[in-house]
Structure 1
Amino acid sequence: MSRAVLSLGSNLGDRRQHLADAVAALAKWLPGGVIAVSSVYRTPPWGPVPQDDYYNLAMIASSPDLDAYGWLDLCRELESDAGRVRDIRWGPRTLDADVVVVDDVVSQDPDLTLPHPRAHERAFVLLPWAEIDPDAVLPDRGPVLTLLAGLDSADISAVGHVG
């Protein structure tokens, strides 16, 4: 059984609906495997491209059939189903689905670096994750709540839930 923390975000179109569709798809594909879903948070965009705010959430899911690359494939399928286009790095997107951690896997593979290489710098990942697992630890970095305490999250606000 593998357990993954996923970070989902959207800032194009109906942001909340894109997130809801992704969560619903995961619940369908992983019967009984969606363990927890955070609130939805409005967050400022990351990176140099001017764009609208994101809606972000974190979720914890498990599967007896997926390894780390299986989780990556699942995230890519979610993005594809949402019509994501990859034309601008850090640009706007209908859905961004990132694998943050899978169990205690550490990987430096360019296709799948685990834990996510910038998760410790991103309050929009850590805040929703801490909501659903306050005892979480980011491998090789430390407790999520400790990491979050060192980041500015003043511009992040909860805006409800999906579904």
Structure 2
Amino acid sequence: MPVGAEVYVGLGANLADPVAQVRAGMTALGRLPDTRLERCSSLYRSAPVGVTDQPDFINAVCRLRTRLAPEALMQRLFGIERDAGRERRGGEPGGPRTLDLDLLLYDQRALRTPELTLPHPRLHERAFVLYPLIELAPELVIPGHGRAADLLAACTGQRVERLET
């Protein structure tokens, strides 16, 4: 595949064997058309943010190269979520889920449409995303926010633990 856009996708789950859900999500990312899975982070366990009366989440981030447009890639991510049993019904944000895939970054582009905002609008304030991002790209800069490593310092009080994988 010719070189495409560098993309980071966040994965998270806290229902129906979340470790297996996240690993299956990684496998599905590797099967996307016109896309190459380059590397995935370790798995991380994190306390829920927002809706706290639910099980801990398992999180990871994967780096991809893709020729898919951002909106087309997002639709493919929704398809992977549906295949994992996820139902998007405008329910409570941050609630429990079998698999959540977030398009975090797409080639350092800033984009705001009714369907998609890049970079992901809360990425810079979520330790469970920043830790695995930094593992993959220690010098990564989040457009409009700065270095991921510097942003992590502001994420106080968020419990995140790297799992042995």
Q: TM-score, normalised on structure 2?
A: 0.90
Deviation at 1:54, TM superposition (A): 0.1
Match of 2:77 in 1: 75
Deviation at 1:110, TM superposition (A): 2.3
Give the counterpart of 1:9 among 7, 12, 16.
12
Counterpart CA distance in 2 for 1:52 and 1:6 is: 22
**Is contact 1:4-1:71 (8 Å) kept?**
no
**Is contact 2:48-2:57 (8 Å) kept?**
yes
Give the counterpart of 2:40 among 24, 37, 41.
37
SS at match of 1:99: strand
Match of 1:60 in 2: 63
Give the counterpart of 2:136 among 113, 118, 132.
132
**Is contact 2:47-2:158 (8 Å) kept?**
no
**Is contact 2:10-2:103 (8 Å) kept?**
yes
Match of 2:153 in 1: 149
Counterpart CA distance in 2 for 1:160 and 1:98 is: 23
**Is contact 1:30-1:62 (8 Å) kept?**
no
Counterpart CA distance in 2 for 1:29 and 1:75 is: 9
Unaligned stretches of 5+ residues in structure 1: none
Deviation at 1:70, TM superposition (A): 1.8
- Distance change (3 Å), C-alpha of 1:151 and 1:74: same
**Is contact 1:100-1:114 (8 Å) kept?**
yes
Deviation at 1:32, TM superposition (A): 7.1
RMSD: 1.6
Match of 1:93 in 2: 97
**In the alignment, is residue 122 of structure 1 matched against residue 130 of structure 2?**
no
Match of 2:107 in 1: 103
Structure 1 residue identity aligned to 2:30: A
**Is contact 1:7-1:57 (8 Å) kept?**
yes
**Is contact 1:39-1:57 (8 Å) kept?**
yes
Deviation per CA, 1:42-90: give whole Å up to 9, x if none. 00011135110000001110112x1111221121011111000235312
Counterpart CA distance in 1 for 2:144 and 2:118 is: 10
Unaligned stretches of 5+ residues in structure 2: none
SS at match of 1:39: coil
Counterpart CA distance in 2 for 1:136 and 1:67 is: 21
SS at match of 1:126: helix
